[in-house]
Amino acid sequence: MNLALLLDEDFVSPDRARLQGRRLQHLKTVLKASAGDRIPVGRVNGLMGYGEVLKLNDSEAELQLTLETPPPAALPLTLILAMPRPKMFRRVLQTCASLGVKDIWLINSYKVEKSFWQTPWLSDDNLRENLTLGLEQSKDTVMPQVHIRKLFKPFVEDELPALLEGKRALVAHPGMAAPCPTHLNESAALCIGPEGGFTDYEVGKLEEAGCQSVHLGPRILRVETAVPVLVSRLFDACL
């Protein structure tokens, strides 16, 4: 936690907040903060700065806030991910948030196991918690939006074309002829398949919707590795 993200409900006045739970524990055990210390904070979807510790006890910490710095620029990326395996999903969410991805669509695919959609990590609270961890890691305040689409075909046929308008649209898929482009200067949409990849039918449907198929070299990467590799490749100037 390189920044404590303050939620609206943490504010007791416009420049004062109280922390409990995980963030309080972090202040006490990792930062070993005490009254008078300044710790880096940010208001969710707002400015960043520091909070001076006014008091800190076993139940809460109270901070006097000075918030003047805008968060780092968001990546101009719509990330469309086949729903990952649950044990990987949390890390993928945190990674996306830490990289500045703000628009995440979780979609179905033939090789997404039905059980993946049952994971408790998809609850609103758990999504928010893991995205918060990513923002706190990278010192950002802007909460990513996560959209869940459990049916592939209606999403790709009815929603995706509008979503891709005005964007460079790509689907990363091993074995395609074109290499993934580098350092884009435009908004992009990027589709990444599940373990085992999209099926040929699915790649065809994504192409019909406007995506270009690109490869990422001879190596087959895990989703959790492919996301930072692709984001870095597409937007090296933005990171």
Cα separation, 104 vs 161, whole angstroms: 16
Taking the least distance from each CB to its own copies, the nearer of 86 and 210 is 86
3 state DSSP class of 100: coil
Number of residues that bind its own copies (CB under 8 A): 31
Cβ 89 vs Cβ 126: under 8 Å:
no
Q: Which of 100, 144, 193, 194 binds its own copies (CB under 8 A)?
A: 100
Q: Is residue 221 within the footprint of its own copies (CB under 8 A)?
A: yes
DSSP string, 207-228: HHTTPEEEE--S----HHHHHH
Amino acid symbol at 34: S
Binding marks (x or -) toward its own copies, 138..177, rule CB under 8 A? xxx-------------------------------------
Maximum CA pair distance of the chain? 61
Q: How many residues does the chain have?
A: 239
Instruction: In angstroms, give the least distance from the CB of 179 to its own copies.
Output: 9
Q: Give the helix, strand, coil percentages of the chain, each rounded to 5.
A: 35, 30, 35
Taking the least distance from each CB to its own copies, the nearer of 103 and 140 is 140
Instruction: In angstroms, give the least distance from the CB of 9 to its own copies.
Output: 26
Which residues here bind its own copies, judged by CB under 8 A? 2, 72, 91, 95, 98-100, 137-140, 182-183, 216-222, 224-225, 228-233, 236, 238-239
